[in-house]
Structures are given as structure tokens and as C-alpha cells.
Amino acid sequence: MNKARTNPFNNIAMHGALILYTLIALFPVFVILINSFKTRKAIFREPLALPDADSFSLIGYQTVLKQGDFFLYFQNSLIVTVASLFFVLLFGAMAAFALAEYRFKGNTLMGLYLALGIMIPIRIGTVAILEMMVATGLVNTLWALILVYTAQGLPLAVFILSEFMRQVSDDLKNAARVDGLSEYAIFFRLVLPLVRPAMATVAVFNMIPIWNDLWFPLILAPAEETKTLTLGSQVFIGQFVTDWNAVLSALSMAILPVLVLYVIFSRQLIRGLTSGAVK
């Protein structure tokens, strides 16, 4: 065993730094969470205090659940996020496989073209996207959002996944070809399981921005029945008065589904890493 690695001081310093970072990162979430359980006055009087018998109140949650159709917003957000992730991973992996595996004219050029989206933010094209959605009649449907988010996520997905797929041994793919597996079978049954950690990484990278996005739901799908959670929460933020109880409660609830998704993906990530370690 390496001595430097087992040095207790190093160990403490490392964990100390990590714990400090965790505290800093979790602090805003913690403040939101405690304040969502307090009365409006208590939030402003002592923002950092824990809710006690006097200041405890569920008024925020009650407002949220009464006002608007919050479960529908939840459902919309979840459908958009999961569907977008599914398409990003499916198409991203397929494009990455083609780029990594096959020699064809313009392979590098195609790779660069697909990576262009990493450098150019999709929001620049908002007006054109809106025009397209109007022309195709997709405005105020969840499909509008799913399509846009898929486009937004693909460049990075292709970029990351093609790098990982290049690392999958050629011999392995050739062995499968000799054994009579079709190219689709090689892709789905051999290569995809081997790049699962990369898939999880891409999923995590894409999930949070999609879930939190306000821009495209506001522009492409502001109708009541297609509102996402982030957009739905905006009703509590007014120009003059903001219902902080409701905002904080809505945000607290919005964390939960992402947390669940994240746990699912990160477990894949760890499992993938350890199974790859012993080749």
C-alpha cells in the first residue's frame, strides 16, 4: 500500500476539504428547505433560524397545492425530462457509434458539425425555433420542449460517447461480427453495456438544465396544461409582491424528482466504474 495515501493527516485534510465543499454546496438548499416550513414573518425576521413551534407553518405548501394544478406541472416536467434524456442518449449513442466505428468520407467533418452545438448556445435560435414550432403546430405541446431539449443535449452526448466508444476494443466488436451479431446487436448488446458509465454521465449533465429550464417552457409551451414546474412556480413571483412561502415550498418539492433520478444514474455510474476496473 502506498504510504502517502494512508497518511492520516492527508486523509483528514482531504475529507475536511470535501466536507467543507459539501456544506457550502448544500447550504442554499438547506436554507430553502427550512424556510419553506416557516411563516412569512419568520422568514424575514430570522432567515437562518430553524422552524420552531411559533414559526412553523405549512402555509406555503397549502398555497402551492391549492393554486394551479401542481401535480400536472410535476408530471409535465417529468415527462419532458425523461423523454428528452431518452432521446438524447439513444440518438447520441447511435451517432457516436457511427462516428467512432465506421470509416466514411467526411467522418471528421461530421463529428465537428455535431460538436458545433457545444459552442453555440441553442437559445440564439429561439426566434427561428418558435417560428418552426408555430409552422408545425407544436406550440403548447410537450413535444416542442422534448424536441428542443433533445437537440440541445445531443452535441455534448455525441462528443462524450464517441470518445468512450473509441475505447471499446476493436477485437471485441470483430469477435462479435465473426460470431454473427448484426451491427445493431453489437451496438445494443455489446457496446452500450460497456459505455454505461459514460451514458450515466451524459444523463446527469443533461438532466439538471432541462429540469430547471424556464426559457423554452415560457416561450414554446406557456399554456396551462403544458406548464412545467419551473414555469408553474413563477405565478408566485410577482412584480410587487412575491409569495415567498409558496415559492420556497414549490422549489423544495421540485428537488425531489431530480434527486431520485440522480440517485438512479449515479448508482449506474458507480457500478459501471467498478465493473470496468477488472478487465
Partner 1 sequence: MTALTLTNVNKSFGEVHVLKDINIEVEEGEFVVFVGPSGCGKSTLLRVIAGLEDATSGEVHIGGDLVNNTPPSKRGIAMVFQSYALYPHLNVFKNMSLALKQEKQSKAVINERVAKASKMLNLEDYLERYPSELSGGQRQRVAIGRAIVREPKLFLFDEPLSNLDAALRMNTRLEIANLHDTLAASMIYVTHDQTEAMTLADKIVVLRDGRVEQIGSPMELYNNPVNQFVAGFLGSPAMNFMPAGFVSEGDPRTIGVRPEDLRLQDDGGLSATVQHVEHLGGDTNVIAEAKGTQITARLFGQHAINQGQTVTLGYAPERAYYFDKEGHRV
Residues found near partner 1 in the complex (CB under 8 A) = 169, 171-172, 174-181, 190, 193-194, 275, 278-279
Q: Measured from the CB atom, is 193 or 209 closer to partner 1?
A: 193
Q: Give the shortest CB-161-to-partner 1 separation in angstroms.
A: 18
d(CA 80, CA 141): 10
Q: Report which residue type is found at 91.
A: F
Minimum Å gap between C-beta 184 and partner 1 is: 13
Query: What number of other Cβ atoms are within 10 A of residue 129's Cβ?
Result: 19
Q: What angle do CA 251, 53, 34 make, to 5 degrees?
A: 20
SS3 assignment, position 180: coil
Toward partner 1, which CB reaches closer, 45 or 177? Answer: 177
Q: How far is the CB of 159 from partner 1 (least distance, A)?
A: 25
**Smallest distance from partner 1 to CB 277, Å:** 9
When the beta carbons of 116 and 175 are compared against partner 1, the nearer one is 175
Q: Which is nearer to partner 1, 53 or 278 (CB)?
A: 278
Nearer to partner 1, 65 or 194 (CB): 194
CB of 42 to partner 1, least distance (A): 55
Based on CB atoms, which residue is closest to partner 1, 8 or 171?
Answer: 171
Q: Cβ(210)–Cβ(24) under 8 Å? A: no
Q: Which is nearer to partner 1, 79 or 194 (CB)?
A: 194
Closest distance to partner 1 from the beta carbon of 279 (Å): 7
Q: Which is nearer to partner 1, 136 or 174 (CB)?
A: 174
The CB-of-153 to partner 1 minimum distance in angstroms stands at: 27
- Contact between residue 229 and residue 254 where contact means Cβ atoms under 8 Å apart: yes
Strand, coil or helix: what is 37? Answer: coil
- 259 contacts 251 by C-beta, under 8 angstroms: no
Longest pairwise C-alpha distance within the chain: 73
- C-beta contacts of 69-76 below 8 A and 24+ residues apart: 69/224, 70/229, 70/232, 70/250, 70/253, 72/225, 72/227, 73/227, 73/228, 73/229, 73/231, 73/232, 74/229, 74/253, 74/257, 76/142, 76/226, 76/227, 76/228, 76/229
CA–CA distance, 185 with 171 (Å, rounded to integer): 16
In the complex, the smallest distance separating the C-beta of residue 191 from partner 1, rounded to whole angstroms, is 11
